[in-house]
């Protein structure tokens, strides 16, 4: 079945450090890929998405590129801020399956001043 | 403001005492879903609904019930809660259709503790 694998956490970085959070997926066809973010005490919200191979999603300085050849959707940011501290979830929506997201386990990012 | 509203946000109850967590959205979304979030397990889908009177099981439906009598509401019912249902619950909604890239809007979460 469909699945999403995220790198193990938690991750702790200093402010202005470079961030990479790995995400790989298993799915048939051409799923849509997402990154959701959960700030402390809040629900999840969409960070960025990509719907086809080689698409790059970007938002708030974060980027992720849909790589079909490596079945990956790694999240990157060039310079993290304390306000980026949150839990990050990679997710996929299988081809034709409206709205049914399969989530990775999430990874907690803590950014130190 | 477009939002998904869950109530209660926090609840402590005892084993076997029926409870309902309400979910309401004001965006006219067809699709609604319930997830539970547990440490080390991420989010797992409990039930979902594609429209009024259309519901289906997700990945972990045991011990839960849902109903969709109105488009805006999708309550989660625990008929006889047990301690293994202690969790953080999220309701989410979205439009249906398009390319499969519909974005889910999540509620703020309901933290349930069953003693």
pLDDT at B14 (0 to 100): 96
pLDDT at B84 (0 to 100): 96
Among B80, B39, B83, B84, CA closest to B60: B84
Report how far residue A62's alpha carbon sits from residue A42's, in angstroms, rounded to the nearest whole number: 20
Report how far residue B86's alpha carbon sits from residue B57's, in angstroms, rounded to the nearest whole number: 19
pLDDT tens sequence across B26-74: 999 999 999 999 988 889 999 999 999 999 999 999 999 999 999 999 9
Which parts of chain A sit beneath pLDDT 50?
Answer: none
pLDDT at B98 (0 to 100): 61
Residues 6 or more apart whose Cβ sits within 8 Å of residue B39: none
pLDDT at A97 (0 to 100): 60
pLDDT tens sequence across A7-34: 888 999 999 999 999 999 999 888 899 9
Residue for token pair 């790059």: A56
Q: Is B104 on the interface with A (CB under 8 A)?
A: yes
Report how far residue A86's alpha carbon sits from residue A98's, in angstroms, rounded to the nearest whole number: 27
Q: What is the mean pLDDT of chain B?
A: 93
pLDDT at B54 (0 to 100): 92
DSSP class of A73: -
pLDDT tens sequence across B73-102: 999 999 999 999 999 999 999 987 665 567
Nearest by CB to residue B31, choosing from A41, A98, A106, is A98
pLDDT at B42 (0 to 100): 87
More confident residue, A98 or B107: B107
Q: Is B106 on the interface with A (CB under 8 A)?
A: yes
Query: Is the CB of residue A66 less than 8 Å from the CB of residue A52?
Result: yes
Q: Is A95 on the interface with B (CB under 8 A)?
A: yes
Look at B43 and A103 and tell me if their CB atoms are within 8 Å: yes
Instruction: DSSP for A22-82, please give it.
Output: -EEEE-SS--EEEEEEE-TTS-EEEEEEE-STT-EEEETTEEEE-BTTTTB--EEESS--G
Report how far residue A13's alpha carbon sits from residue A98's, in angstroms, rounded to the nearest whole number: 36
Q: Specify the 3-state DSSP secondary structure of B34.
A: strand
């Amino acid at each position: 079945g469909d699945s999403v694998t995220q790198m193990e956490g938690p991750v702790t970085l200093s402010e202005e450090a470079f961030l990479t959070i790995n995400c790989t997926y298993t799915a048939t066809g051409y799923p849509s890929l997402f990154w959701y973010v959960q700030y402390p005490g809040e629900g999840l919200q969409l960070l960025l998405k990509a719907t086809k191979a080689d698409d790059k999603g970007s938002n708030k300085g974060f980027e992720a590129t849909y790589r079909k050849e490596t079945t990956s959707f790694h999240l990157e940011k060039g310079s993290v801020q304390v306000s980026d501290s949150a839990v990050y979830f990679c997710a996929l929506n299988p081809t034709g399956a409206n709205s049914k997201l399969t989530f990775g386990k999430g990874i907690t990012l803590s950014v130190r001043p | 403001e477009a939002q998904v509203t869950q109530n209660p946000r926090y609840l402590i109850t005892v084993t076997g005492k029926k409870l309902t967590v309400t979910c309401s959205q004001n965006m006219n979304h067809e699709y609604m879903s319930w997830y539970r979030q547990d440490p080390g397990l991420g989010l797992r889908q409990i039930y979902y609904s594609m429209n009024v009177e259309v519901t289906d099981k997700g990945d972990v439906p045991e011990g839960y019930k849902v109903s969709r009598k109105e488009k805006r509401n999708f309550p989660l019912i625990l008929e006889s809660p047990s301690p293994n249902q202690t969790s953080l619950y999220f309701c989410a909604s979205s439009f249906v259709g398009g390319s499969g890239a519909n974005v889910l809007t999540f509620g703020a979460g309901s933290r349930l503790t069953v003693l």
